[in-house]
Amino acid sequence: SDTYLWEATFADGQLPSFTVFDFQMNYAVPSIKSIFKVGGSNILADEYFSAIGTGAVGAIYYVSWTINN
């Protein structure tokens, strides 16, 4: 996201630009009717702010197993 001006009733301010990198990898196992997933959002963990007065957004990582797919 590019730098932008945030205006609200409680605060105004310039937010710096930021870049996030998301990733997901899936692996299907038809013999057990399953899909395994591993991934993350903002995996480089560069914290950023999306609005004035909010907390920093960090990274999230996950592992998933979908059965009977």
Residue with tokens 């590019």: 2
Strand partners, 29: 34
pTM for the structure as a whole: 0.72
CA torsion 30-40-22-34 (nearest 10°) is 10
Q: Which domain holds residue 41?
A: 4-67
Report pLDDT for 53: 86
Per-residue pLDDT of the chain (69 residues), as tens digits, is 899 999 989 889 999 999 999 999 999 999 999 999 999 999 999 999 889 988 999 999 999 999 996
Residue with tokens 């996030």: 20
The total number of structural domains that make up the chain: 1
